Chain A
Amino acid sequence: MWERIRVMLRKEFIQALREPRMRLLLFLPPILQCIIFGYAVNLDVDHAHIAWMDMDRTPESRDLREQFESSGRFDVVAMPANEEGVQRVLDSSQAQAVVRVLPGFARDLARGRAAGVQVLVDGTNSNTASLIVSYGGQIIAAYSNGAMGRQQNRRVLTRSPGSAVNASAPQVTARSRVWFNPDLYSRNYFVPGVVANILMMVTLMLTSLAIVREKEIGTMEQLMVTPLRPIELMLGKTLPFAVVGLVDMALITAAALVVFHVPFRGSFLLMLLCALLFLMTSLGAGLLLSTISHTQQQAMMASFFFSTPAFMLSGFAFPIRNMPLVVQYFTYLNPLRYFTEIVRGIFLKGVGISVLWPQMACLVVYGVAMLTLSALRFHKTLD
């Protein structure tokens, strides 16, 4: 039996790695995803383009603008003079927000009346918009706090000159500390997710394609007349892609550490173990898809249909917490969710089995179920 599996494995490896172009294609997607998620995909906002409309033109309004620009979050790219200008910069997406200092800003400030500042935000991208609203609000609140202090000092001084000490007022300040990813880099969050995602893509898709291809071309009949048993055929078809998947995973992990400087705080051994657990599920699913598809196109569409929701509902890019409650329960059915949680936990939080055992148990249950199911169906089609 081992001899037959060995021969089958050799055939599969030769088939998978025969052409240089194919070899490239096995390893290109992980590299590309890594680059895109490591460098390009960034949800944070800095140097957001804003337009500044100063209807007051006083030192105070210029001071406020100074605060916006020195925060590093905003770059003033336009100075519209009128309403049409405001409309134009927002319509053409030249600026993502317009800050309008209303006339009488400095006067109101001096007299202790509410001085008006208007911030118009382009809400098209709701995520960027909420960040801009929040950062802009903070800068204005800080300015307001400062203005209030000065105002108060002045007032107390006019009443009882020389007793500026009394003028202090309570100030509650937030001292924030961010754990695990103190610089809030998006890539620290995304790159570990790529590890999980690639492992699924490579194994699921390539396994199902490899088997259906034999069916479509007609070489399946040839395999059937050999003394190869179904279980041997299954192993021979899945193991090469498990190896490719693991190599891809090692590549991405290395890139994460060396190129992207993503912290790795947990144990490599635990991650490898969890990857093996996950492979049972994804290879089993690949086999299952191959038994229900007749052509490669169907296999591709089916694996796309399986992997896209798995990817989207894994919490990879879209936090599960934000989903509606029904969908949140639904994600418990998603094996990739557990694996993504495990990989992130190991990478960023350095947690071990004591925290991750529920996820690992789910992967085991899933893997055994998938493999059994596909073995049952696989047997039938070969007969």
Chain B
Amino acid sequence: MSFRRLRAIFVKELHHITRDARSLALALAMPVMMLLLFGYALSLDVDRIPTLVYDQDQTEASRDLIKQFQASRFFDIRGFVDGYAPIERAIDRSTVLMAVVIPRRYSQNVGGAREAPVQILLDGSDSNTASIALGYAETVVQDYSLDLRTDMMNRRGGEHTPPPVDARLRVWYNSSLESKNYVVPGLIAVILMIIAALLTSLTIAREWEMGTMEQLLSTPLRPAEMVLGKMLAYFVVGLADAAIAVLVGVFVFQVPFRGSVPMLVVSTCVFLFGALFWGIFVSAAARTQQKAYQISIVTSFLPAFMLSGFVWSIENMPKVIQPITRAIPARYFVTILKGVFLKGAGFRLLWGELGFLALYAAIVFLLATRKLRQKLA
């Protein structure tokens, strides 16, 4: 391996990148766009669930129950109706998600110390929102029921007793339960994968398509030098993207950063090596840009986006899929990123993940070099 040739190909590739100003601008705007989307616009946190109330009972007791829903920040009472038809219509049109129906004999049941059912109707098409809404609704009703019983007991017994079990729920690491804190760190892995897929995978395919590969072939350049040189040029772009993502995440979106900067830098570099080598491997294997792009979207971006635990946690996946996610490098990087950002975890907890990423990068480098040698022969 000659350092001079390596530098030559690195400089050539940098020229390629900087000459196409439009692509470069898009590549650098990418992290900002993704961060804006995920940090600002997208959220899985459910609150202000639009709700209709159908109060058949119309008594003080039923209004008291409605007040509990009104007081909860999770529900937004959009109106009162007197029939099931308007509820159906509203749910069909997706203007509300939930309806609370208080049956006619509700106050009698409560007064007579019997079981008083309350109906909750829910649009289940968005299953996640629906299950969270259901949980909140049941909690509101249960808490209210407990209050009623305590009240009644205190009245009967003439002494004050608190509810029997005092549940103290505390959330660690992301105590405000904001999904941006969870999503933004993982997003860095996805952004780097996009860069690898969109830029790197095209680099060798383009040489083939434009016919400049023959010119490179006539030079004394060796496959390993070509792979490394091209990789390093995109490494610069990738690092710039990562830096933009981290800075915007921490300073604009106020995502907590509790870990060590060196750990973040080292793991980002190692992950980037692997991702870029993979892009080059795909590029060497596919001879046209279109194919290279399609393959790398399917093999790098989609898994990184969906199977890395970046938004959708791996624990919830079926047992068959879970082992597959172990083969996806982005999964390990997402774990590292979340650990470093939110938990302040260091090398001691994350060395396994880092080791895997290093191993992956080495293997893919060998693969890419071999593939290129095959193609050249």
Interface residue ranges, A against B (CB under 8 Å): 19, 21-22, 25, 28-29, 32-33, 36-37, 39-46, 48-49, 90-93, 96, 109, 112-131, 133-138, 140-145, 147-149, 151-152, 155-156, 168-182, 184-186, 188-189, 209, 213, 216-217, 294-298, 300-302, 304-305, 308-309, 312-313, 317-319, 321-324, 327, 341, 344-345, 348-349, 351, 355
What residues of A have a CB within 8 angstroms of the CB of B236 in the complex?
none
With A32-B298, A43-B316, A141-B142 in contact, is A186–B127 under 8 Å at CB? yes
Contact: A141 with B110, CB < 8 Å? no
Interface-side segment among B41-49, B271-279, B357-365: B41-49
Q: A137-B139, A173-B115, A186-B127 are in contact. Are A300 and B149 (CB under 8 A)?
A: no
CB contact under 8 A between A130 and B41, given known A145-B149, A297-B23: no
State whether the Cβ of B125 lies closer than 8 Å to any Cβ in chain A.
yes
Q: Name B315's contact: one of A49, A120, A345 (CB within 8 Å).
A: A49
Please tell me if B71 contacts chain A, counting CB pairs below 8 Å.
Answer: no
Q: How far is the CA of A128 from the CA of B312 in the complex (A)?
A: 9
A308 and B23 in contact, given A209-B290, A323-B42 (Cβ under 8 angstroms): no
Instruction: For the complex, give the distance between the alpha carbons of A117 and B170 in Å.
Output: 11
CB distance from A347 to the nearest CB of B (A): 9
Q: Which residues of A contact B210 (CB under 8 A)?
A: 216
Q: Is B146 in contact with A168, judged by CB distance below 8 angstroms? A: no
* Least distance between B161 CB and chain A CB atoms (Å): 5
CB distance from A165 to the nearest CB of B (A): 10
Q: Could you show 20 A-B contacts with beta carbons less than 8 Å apart?
A: A25-B291, A36-B307, A114-B162, A117-B168, A122-B172, A124-B174, A124-B342, A128-B315, A129-B171, A137-B135, A144-B164, A170-B152, A173-B117, A176-B119, A176-B134, A184-B124, A295-B23, A297-B23, A345-B92, A348-B125
Contact A124 B145 (CB under 8 A): no
Q: Is B289 an interface residue (CB 8 A)?
A: yes
Interface residues of B in 207-244 (CB under 8 A from A): 209-210
A137 to B37, CA, bound (A): 32
Please, which residues of chain A bring their CB within 8 A of the CB of B122?
Answer: 176-179
Contact of A217 among B144, B172, B209 (CB under 8 A): B209
Would B312 and A118 count as touching, CB distance under 8 A? no
Interface size on B, residues (CB 8 A): 125
Within 8 A of A (CB), among B143-185: 143-146, 148-150, 152-153, 156-157, 161-179, 181-182
In the complex, what distance in Å separates the CA atom of A152 from the CA atom of B146? 13
Given contacts A171-B114, A322-B44, 8 further A-B contacts (CB under 8 A): A29-B302, A123-B174, A138-B142, A171-B145, A176-B137, A185-B127, A296-B202, A296-B293
CA of A351 to CA of B181, assembled, Å:
37
Residue from B97, B172, B342 whose CB has the most chain A CB atoms within 10 Å = B172
What residues of A have a CB within 8 angstroms of the CB of B139 in the complex?
134, 137-138, 141
B307 touches A304 (CB 8 A): no
Given known A138-B142, A145-B149, contact A133–B165 (CB-CB < 8 A)? no
Instruction: Flag the segment in B1-9, B26-34, B246-254 that touches A.
Output: B26-34
**Residues of B328-349 whose CB lies within 8 A of A:** 335, 338, 342-343, 345, 349
Query: Contact partner of B114 among A32, A170, A319, CB < 8 A?
Result: A170
Distance of A349 Cα from B92 Cα, bound (Å): 7
With both beta carbons as reference points, the residue of chain B lying nearest to A315 in the complex is identified as B126
A296 to B342, Cβ gap below 8 A? no
Complex Cα distance, B130 from A44, in Å, reads 10
CA distance A53 to B175 in the complex (A): 21
Which residues does chain A contribute within 8 Å of B43, judged by CB atoms?
318, 322-323
Report the bound CA distance from A178 to B124 in whole Å.
Answer: 5
CB distance A115 to B145 under 8 Å?
Answer: no
Question: B302, A32: Cβ atoms under 8 Å?
Answer: yes
B contact set with A: CB distance below 8 Å: 20, 22-23, 26-27, 29-30, 33-34, 37-38, 40-48, 50, 65, 91-94, 97, 109-132, 134-139, 141-146, 148-150, 152-153, 156-157, 161-179, 181-182, 194, 198-199, 202, 206, 209-210, 286, 289-291, 293-295, 297-298, 302, 306-307, 311-313, 315-318, 320-321, 335, 338, 342-343, 345, 349
- Give the shortest distance, in Å, between B230 (CB) and chain A (any CB): 14
Q: Which single residue of chain A is at the shortest CB-CB distance from B294?
A: A25
Which listed residue (B92, B128, B132, B170) contacts A355, Cβ 8 A?
B92
Contact at A184–B152, with CB atoms within 8 Å?
no
Closest-CB distance, B135 to chain A (whole angstroms): 3
Contact of A148 among B91, B130, B136, B164 (CB under 8 A): B164
Quick check: A175 and B117 within 8 Å, CB to CB? Answer: yes
Residues A173 and B145 in contact, CB atoms below 8 Å apart: yes
CB within 8 A of B321: which of A39, A45, A113, A322?
Answer: A39
A114 close to B164 (CB less than 8 A): yes
A216 touches B209 (CB 8 A): yes
Residues of A within 8 A of B132 (CB): 127, 130-131, 134
Across-interface contacts of B162 in A (CB, < 8 A):
112-114
Contacts A29-B298, A123-B173, A138-B142; is A40 near B306 (CB within 8 Å)?
yes
Partner of A297 from B46, B175, B289 at Cβ < 8 Å? B289
Whether A119 touches B163, Cβ cut-off 8 Å, given contacts A134-B136, A176-B120, A298-B23, is no
Residues of A within 8 A of B173 (CB): 90, 122-124
Separation of A151 and B161 alpha carbons in the complex (Å): 11
Of the candidates B22, B138, B177, B315, which one forms a contact with A176 in the assembled complex, judged by CB atoms under 8 Å apart?
A: B138
Partner of B149, one of A19, A91, A170: A170
Contact of A123 among B121, B175, B298 (CB under 8 A): B175
B145 pairs with A170, CB closer than 8 A: yes
**Are B164 and A147 neighbours in the complex by a CB distance under 8 Å?**
yes
Which residues of the partner chain A approach B126 to less than 8 Å between Cβ atoms? Answer: 189, 319
Contact B41 A313 (CB under 8 A): yes
Contact between A180 and B202 (Cβ–Cβ < 8 Å)?
no
With known contacts A126-B181, A349-B125, A297–B199 Cβ distance under 8 A: yes
Are B172 and A123 in contact, CB atoms less than 8 angstroms apart? yes
